Amino acid sequence: MPVLSVKNIHKTYIDQIGSSTVVLNGVNLDLFSGDFTALMGSSGCGKTTLLKILGTLDKPTLGNVFFSSKDLTTMTKEEQSLLRLNKIGIVFQNSNLLDSLTIEENIVLPMILKGINKKIIKNKLNEMLVDL
């Protein structure tokens, strides 16, 4: 059974003057535990649009995304926030770091929000910085 199942996703952006851009037109995708998947395509083809929908940062115009059988597109904002905190990690092209925090503070912020013990956070941070 897939961990993430994308069913017939459509996304159309409509600008202020009412003209529409169809970006996703019936995308289907199943991802299984342990998968490593690369999404490739020319600039502007809709990779970030799809990623934002999978990460609950945007909603599809039509279609559903199931994460462990729960539909992300009908979750409340609170449920989506918890899912992002606990289950989904996104590294953006433009990094989206919080300017007022140091790199180290940016890294540990999700762990602080989860209430993880300070010593464990410190150890984890040191491990991560070595990996970088």
Ligand X SMILES: Nc1ncnc2c1ncn2[C@@H]1O[C@H](COP(=O)(O)OP(=O)(O)OP(=O)(O)O)[C@@H](O)[C@H]1O
Which chain residues interact with ligand X by CB under 6 A? Answer: 13, 21, 23, 41, 43-49
In the bound state with ligand X, the residue whose beta carbon lies nearer, of 54 and 108, is 54
Beta-carbon neighbour count of residue 96 at 10 Å?
Answer: 9
Q: How far is CA 104 from the centre of its chain?
A: 21
- From the list ligand X, Mg ion, none, pick the one residue 41 interacts with, judged by a Cβ distance below 5 to 8 Å according to partner type: ligand X
CA–CA dist 30, 54 (Å, integer): 12
- From the list Mg ion, ligand X, none, pick the one residue 53 interacts with, judged by a Cβ distance below 5 to 8 Å according to partner type: none
In the bound state with ligand X, the residue whose beta carbon lies nearer, of 37 and 43, is 43
Q: How far is the CB of 101 from Mg ion (least distance, A)?
A: 24
Interface residues with Mg ion (CB under 5 A)? 47-48
Instruction: Name the burial class of residue 118, with classes exposed (0-12), middle (13-18) and buried (19+) by CB atoms within 10 angstroms of its CB.
Output: exposed
